[in-house]
Amino acid sequence: MLEEGRWTYKLTPLRFPTDMASIEKAPCIVCQFESKCAIDGEIGPYNCPWIGPWAMKEFRELTQPVAPVTT
């Protein structure tokens, strides 16, 4: 989406309420190349070396079965 003359990614949660912890860990927040990031740019979401590992880690954490608590 275009915001203030600049293309910006919009994160839309699949479930509500949304846990902001995963978004806060997104590599884009502190990326030194964020200003150069674009779909057709030198760096972008399809060739970013940081976003893939982050997404996979978040996915694994969300899909891991919770171990039962034994007393």
Cα–Cα distance measured from residue 62 to residue 35, given in angstroms and rounded to the nearest whole number: 30
Q: Where are the alpha helices (DSSP H) in the chain?
A: 21-24, 51-63
CB 45 within 8 A of CB 39: yes
Domain ranges of the chain: 21-61
Sign of the C-alpha dihedral computed for residues 43, 11, 24 and 29 taken in this order: positive
Confidence band, pLDDT 50/70/90 cuts, at residue 49: very high
Residue 2 has pLDDT above 70, yes or no: no
**Would the pTM of this model clear 0.85, i.e. be above it?**
no
